[in-house]
């Protein structure tokens, strides 16, 4: 399409001043960076024609199409389609464009329904229609798709549940421990404690599957990485952590999360001594390999 649209513009004697290429962006919304860049350039009067391969690449949403088409019209800019020619200034051209837009919107909405039905069917058959969680890999061939245990990270997830069930770890400590063992996320980053919290609450690791949040999980086809007893124990451990956190945070400190130590080059935290009825801010730095507290 980019080559053909350039060729078409050349044939019309138009100068191509800018190209806006959207890779994989859905035209059902106007929240597309390239689309918004194009609208900003239009408002700056940088061109007087918008040439698209098909009108549905401009917008598949009736409201967006009409609103932005009207704005461009007010700016003296016309929209032309390479594969759907027509003069919208004539009655026949106008109704033709509207019909094409209605059909495009119908196609988009119907496709979304059909895709959702396909995903629901896969779940009902024990499959998982989304990206596999950490510890699993998505696999597929010409006829089917399935989820397999990741040979490296799968055992790590199983061990994580077993260790957390002992009650000996906090999320922060476990995240630090895993990082020290050189395990990383799929993006090569540290696996944060929030990510571990999500893992420990995810029933997918029990071998269950579902489509939407709030659906009743059913038995999936994938291999579970944790048993019911261990999963339940981990939930109890995490609940106790939450209770302890709420208990220790019953005092409010105005500078919590704001104060920063220049000497230590690190954030400050609050240290409280109930017996002395005092609290103060502290920070920690590493000097010559040893921790120094301020």
Question: CA–CA separation, 65 vs 132, rounded Å?
Answer: 36
* Domain annotation covers residue 131: no
Determine how many CB atoms are found less than 10 A away from the CB of residue 204. Answer: 21
Q: 117 and 141 in one domain?
A: no
Do 193 and 230 belong together in one domain? yes
Report the number of distinct structural domains present in the chain: 3
Determine, yes or no, domain membership for 13. Answer: yes
- We report the CATH number of the domain holding residue 145 as 3.90.1750.20
Assign residue 18 the CATH number of its domain: 3.40.50.1390
Q: Please check whether residue 53 lies inside any domain of the structure.
A: yes
Residue 144 lies in a domain: yes
- Whether residue 273 is contained in a domain is answered as yes
If asked whether residues 12 and 82 sit together in one domain, one would say yes
Nearest to 58 by CA among 39, 86, 76: 39
- Evaluate whether residue 130 is within a structural domain: no
Residues 54 and 157 in one domain: no
Choose among 228, 219, 26, 232: nearest CA to 128: 219
Q: Is residue 227 predicted with pLDDT exceeding 80?
A: yes
pLDDT digits (tens, 9 = 90+) for 79-96: 888 888 777 778 888 888
Q: For 173-208, write each residue's pLDDT tens digit.
A: 999 999 999 999 988 999 999 999 999 999 999 999
DSSP states of 111-153 as a string?
HHHHHHHHHHHHHHTT---SPPPTTEEEEE-SS-EEEEE-TTH
- Residues 240, 276 within the same domain: no
Residue 177: both structure tokens together? 């421990």
Does this model's pTM top 0.85? Answer: no
Whole-angstrom Cα distance, residue 181 to residue 187?
A: 16
The whole domain housing 84 covers 2-122
- Asked if 189 and 220 sit in the same domain, the reply is yes
Q: What distance in Å separates the CA atoms of residue 53 and residue 256, rounded to the nearest whole number? A: 54
> Is the pLDDT reported for residue 293 higher than 80?
no
Q: Are residues 145 and 116 in the same domain?
A: no
Where does residue 96 rank: exposed (0-12), middle (13-18), buried (19+ CB within 10 A)? middle
- Burial tier of 130 (Cβ tally within 10 Å: 0-12, 13-18, 19+): middle
With respect to residue 160, please indicate whether it lies within any of the assigned structural domains: yes
Q: Do 223 and 270 lie in a common domain?
A: no
For 3-31, give one letter per residue: b (16+ CB within 10 A) or e.
Answer: eebeebbeeeeeeeeeebeeeeeebbebe
What's the pLDDT tens digit per position in 3-40?
Answer: 788 888 888 888 898 888 877 666 567 778 888 899 99
Domain boundary (122, 146, 179) is at: 122
Clarify whether residues 167 and 91 are in a common domain: no
Q: Give the pair of three-digit tokens for residue 76.
A: 């003296």
């Amino acid at each position: 399409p980019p080559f053909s649209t350039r060729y078409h513009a050349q044939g019309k004697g138009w100068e191509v001043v800018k190209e806006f290429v959207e890779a994989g962006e859905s035209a059902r919304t106007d929240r597309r960076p390239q689309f918004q860049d194009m609208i900003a350039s239009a408002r700056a009067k940088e061109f007087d024609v918008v040439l698209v391969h098909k009108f549905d690449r401009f917008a598949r949403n009736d409201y967006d199409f009409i609103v932005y088409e009207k704005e461009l019209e007010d700016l003296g800019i016309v929209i032309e389609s390479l594969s759907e020619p027509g003069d919208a200034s004539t009655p026949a051209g106008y109704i033709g464009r509207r019909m094409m837009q209605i059909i495009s919107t119908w196609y988009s909405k119907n496709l979304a329904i059909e895709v959702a039905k396909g995903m629901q069917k896969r779940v009902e058959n024990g499959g998982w229609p989304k990206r596999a969680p950490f510890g699993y890999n998505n696999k597929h061939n010409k006829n089917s798709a399935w989820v397999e245990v990741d040979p490296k990270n799968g055992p790590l997830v199983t061990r994580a549940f077993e260790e957390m069930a002992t009650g000996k770890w906090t999320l922060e400590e476990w995240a630090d421990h895993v990082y020290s063992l050189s395990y990383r996320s799929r993006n090569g980053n540290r696996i944060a404690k929030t990510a571990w919290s999500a893992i420990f609450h995810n029933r997918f690791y029990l071998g269950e599957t579902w489509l939407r949040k709030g659906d009743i999980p059913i038995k999936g086809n994938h291999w579970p990485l944790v048993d019911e007893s261990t999963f339940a124990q981990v939930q109890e451990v995490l609940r106790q952590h939450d209770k302890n956190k709420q208990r220790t945070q019953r005092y409010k400190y105005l500078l919590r999360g704001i104060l920063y130590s220049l000497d230590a080059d690190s954030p400050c935290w609050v240290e409280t001594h109930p017996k002395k009825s005092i609290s103060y801010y502290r920070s920690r730095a590493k000097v010559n390999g040893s921790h120094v507290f301020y």
